[in-house]
Amino acid sequence: MHKNRIVLGIETSCDETSVSIVKEKTKFEQEILSNIVNSQVKIHEKSGGVIPEMAARSHSTVIDKLIITAVNKANIKLNEIDAVAATAGPGLLGGLIVGVVAAKTLASVLNKPFIAINHLEGHALSAKLEHKIKYPYLLLLVSGGHTEFTIINGFNDYHRIGTTLDDALGEAFDKSARVLGFKYPGGPEIEKHAKKGDKNKYKFPKPIISQKNCHFSFSGLKTAVAHTVASNKNINAKFKNDIAASFQKTICDILEIKTKRAIFEFKNKYPNKKTTIVVAGGVAANQEIKKIFKNMGKESNYDVFFPSLYLCTDNAAMIAYAGLERLRQKKINSLKFAPKPRWPLDKDAAFLKGKRIDAK
């Protein structure tokens, strides 16, 4: 019996610098010994969005301290680490370089393997850190940079069945929040104001909703919000709350319709398996969105899982865990592995951003 493996993970793909240490307990269970996150929200708040150069600078300023803090908090010695994993894409290149170089340096000094992790694989597996979820399952990933349905057939076997043709869902929340004058990130602000608003006040478009596929498009919805705001002379608190509530309701309707379509495809592929849905990414923190999935689960007897909030947003625990799974399968990388700003999880998935999809 080998000793329980310990993996250090690093996440720097966007605006969170995070370092985590995950230790295996059994073949199916693992423990997060530490998960340190340094958010850059304060840095990007003024501009209302992430500025790549500033993000990279901030990652490089804090990464070494975060590694030391994560090791101390985990109460382990550096030489107990069995592998060093880092997000190597997709994401902002400057940030990826900081994390990957730190991971490679640590791996070489310790003479342990370096493992390059796809950030989307981290999100895809994140719910398994807390729940015993069996393959296959349907993943809906909704974050600031990504919106996709992927069938997780098994470890390292991912089939994307739907994606966004333009904005990511979190981006649609952030951009709509910005025209309403809310602070960044906009998702939590929209949710907060929506609680006080009338969700039926404004009818916003649901782009490509009647197409029989699992793709999304949010840019028309975002533009409709911007037009409604621009054409209104009295932008008071009630108006903003009503817009936030109507926008959020439109999103919930879109997610419900498209998820039913994705489940249809999942069931076609796995007619004899119980449908399991995992909703991950920062937008999955939204309580109204959660309700939609919980209701669908109850009505149709699906298993629905949401990772805890700290595992939904960007974090290194999910990267260390993906690293642990890869280490178990001896899927390690050479130190020559270069970060990839664009790196689809399903390598056969077509790049659809900006493309028109004809209705089926």
- Find which of Zn ion, ligand KG4, none residue 173 binds, CB within 5 to 8 Å per kind: ligand KG4
Binding pattern for the stretch 135-174 against Zn ion, x by CB under 5 A and - elsewhere: --------x-------------------------------
Taking the least distance from each CB to ligand KG4, the nearer of 113 and 344 is: 344
Q: Which residues pair with 6 in a beta bridge?
A: 23
- Find which of Zn ion, ligand KG4, none residue 71 binds, CB within 5 to 8 Å per kind: none
- Find which of ligand KG4, Zn ion, none residue 9 binds, CB within 5 to 8 Å per kind: none
**Sheet with 147-154: strands ordered across:** 157-163, 147-154, 137-142, 276-280, 303-305
Contact status, residue 341 vs residue 89, Cβ threshold 8 Å: yes
Minimum distance, C-beta of residue 217 to ligand KG4, in the bound complex (Å): 17
What is the phi/psi pair of residue 147, to 5°? Answer: -145, 105
Contact status, residue 96 vs residue 12, Cβ threshold 8 Å: yes
Minimum distance, C-beta of residue 35 to Zn ion, in the bound complex (Å): 14
Minimum distance, C-beta of residue 48 to Zn ion, in the bound complex (Å): 19
Q: Report CA torsion sign: 100, 115, 316, 187.
A: positive
Taking the least distance from each CB to ligand KG4, the nearer of 81 and 277 is: 277
Of 248, 249, 262, nearest to 296 by C-alpha is 262
Of 18, 46, 277, 16, nearest to 142 by C-alpha is 277
Show the tokens assigned to 259. Answer: 């998820």
Minimum distance, C-beta of residue 270 to ligand KG4, in the bound complex (Å): 27
Taking the least distance from each CB to Zn ion, the nearer of 118 and 259 is: 118
Taking the least distance from each CB to ligand KG4, the nearer of 314 and 325 is: 314
Minimum distance, C-beta of residue 223 to Zn ion, in the bound complex (Å): 25
Q: Which residues of the chain form contacts with ligand KG4 (CB under 6 A)?
A: 14, 143-145, 170, 173-174, 185-188, 191, 281-283, 285-286, 313-314
270-297 burial, b for 16+ CB within 10 Å, e for fewer? beeeebbbbbbbbbbbbebbeebbeebb
Site for Zn ion in 303-322 (CB under 5 A): 314
Which residues contribute to the site for Zn ion (CB under 5 A)?
143, 314
